[in-house]
Amino acid sequence: MIDCPEIPNVRHLRMVQTIGRLGGVSSAARELNTSQPAVTQAVANLEKDLGAELFDRCATGTFPSELGRLFLRRVDRFFGVLEDAMRDVQGSGADRHGKAPLAERLITGSQIRSLIVISEPATLEVRADRLGVSSTSFYRSVRELERTLGRNLIERTPNGPVCNKTGAFLARELRKAIREIDFGRIEVQQAAGSDADMEIVIGALPMSGSFVLSEALREFMGLRRTAKVRVITGDYRFLLNELSLCNIDMIFGLLRKPEWATDLEEEAFFQDAFCVVTRKGHPLGLVPDITPQHLADYDWVVPAEGTPRRAQIDNLFAGTGKKPRFGIETSSLATLRALLVNSDLITIMTRSEVHFDANIDLVESMPCRFLAPLPAKGITTRTGWLPTDAHLTFLDCLRGATSKLEHVDHRRRPAVKLAS
């Protein structure tokens, strides 16, 4: 989650954007109907915050520097998200008098912060305490925003005020906008030569391929010594919500985009396959063609119902008339590994997930032609997401790690050639 996000002064960002577009402080002041000193002060404040000069001043005007162009790219995206969200919230009535008001006339930085904080009621009191303000001040700020927009954003419930559907939508879009400024700030500071940390947040689905992910992370950290990476694991629904809220940058694992999710993009990296997993020396290792009847003779370790792996296991025995005992249910890889290596228990896993343990002879992976093929694995991101150079480097590392995996049909055992 975004913990007490740094909210920029929206008016200052507009001033900087306008200077970049018009090429002069006085021109920006006239267009925005404000004083020239106010615009000059806005630029000075932002440059001090970023630790870099955004503009080159000369006799013919004020023009974006190389670092300025880098930051203004993110400022443009910030206002693009913000203005689209405002239009959606206000509806068709927003333009009834002709030109719609600029976003900074509708919302302030404190109102952005307040709505984001209220959208996560579980952390409201904690955040209020950290900021040294009362939770009431957050509600007061959002009520002012409601009056400006002419739309209700929060509603009262037995557990206190919470965001309604409109408020939740706007809070989500505000997070997306703020993330652009976060990225812009880091990009400028790194381009200026500082050791500013860039944090990449990855959502990893169960059985996504921890060996592949760890290989990519190892290579990435060797290339980007100051970067930080946070890996969050969870089921698809949880990670999809985190991606929507901009709490994570991407999801790695099976590509399962729902038809309704028009705001998501997927990139396939490799084709994985399910396999039967046992301890080394398990009796199943002597079976040349493993069938559901063979598998039904052993007790299983299974994941929770509703997961793709559990559905695959259930489908194996559908209509066979013989179902094995599912005595242990766990999604913990450490627990699963410990159970398999010391017993005749069996399960199925993806080959990418069991790759490392099989290579060191801790477990054995066996093909089974009755296991259905998997969707491709890769990354899921928000539509229109603009990654930083650090994100692009990580994605290149991940593509490289996945390209090293074997790309063969793992549903059949390889033919055995007999010596003549």
Q: Is residue 166 assigned to a domain?
A: yes
CATH code for the domain in which residue 347 is found:
3.40.190.10
Q: 259 and 287: one domain?
A: no
Looking up residue 15, the CATH number of its domain turns out to be 1.10.10.10
Amino acid residing at 77: R
Say if CB 261 and CB 346 are below 8 A apart.
no
Same domain, 84 and 207: no
Distance (Å, whole) CA 402 – CA 272: 10
Q: How many domains does the chain have?
A: 3
By residue range, what is the domain housing residue 399?
A: 199-270+376-403
Residue 67 and residue 55 share a domain = yes
Same domain, 205 and 228: yes
Model confidence, pTM: 0.84
Whether residues 390 and 356 fall in one domain: no
> Do both 215 and 318 map to the same domain?
no
262 and 287 co-located in one domain: no
Spatial separation of the C-alpha atoms in residues 346 and 333, rounded to whole Å: 13
Q: Return the structure tokens found at 277.
A: 């997993």
Residues 247 and 306 in one domain: no
Could you list the pLDDT tens digit for every one of the 420 residues in the chain?
445 457 889 999 999 999 999 999 999 999 999 999 999 999 999 999 888 999 998 888 889 999 999 999 999 999 999 999 999 998 855 554 556 678 888 899 989 988 988 888 666 666 666 666 777 888 899 999 999 999 999 988 877 778 999 999 999 999 999 999 999 999 998 888 877 778 999 999 987 888 889 999 999 999 998 889 999 998 899 999 999 999 999 999 999 898 888 899 999 999 888 999 999 999 999 999 999 999 999 999 999 888 888 999 999 998 887 889 998 999 888 899 999 998 999 999 988 888 888 888 889 999 999 998 888 999 999 999 999 999 999 999 999 998 877 544 444 554 444 443
Structure tokens given for 244: 């929507």
> Is residue 414 classed as helix, strand or coil in its secondary structure?
coil
Residue 149 is assigned to a structural domain of this protein:
yes
Same domain, 23 and 122: yes
> Is residue 186 assigned to a domain?
no
Domain assignment present for 280 = yes
Q: Is residue 80 part of a domain?
A: yes
Question: To 5 degrees, how large is the angle CA 213–CA 219–CA 223?
Answer: 135
- The count of residues in the chain is 420
Q: Is 279 found in the same domain as 261?
A: no
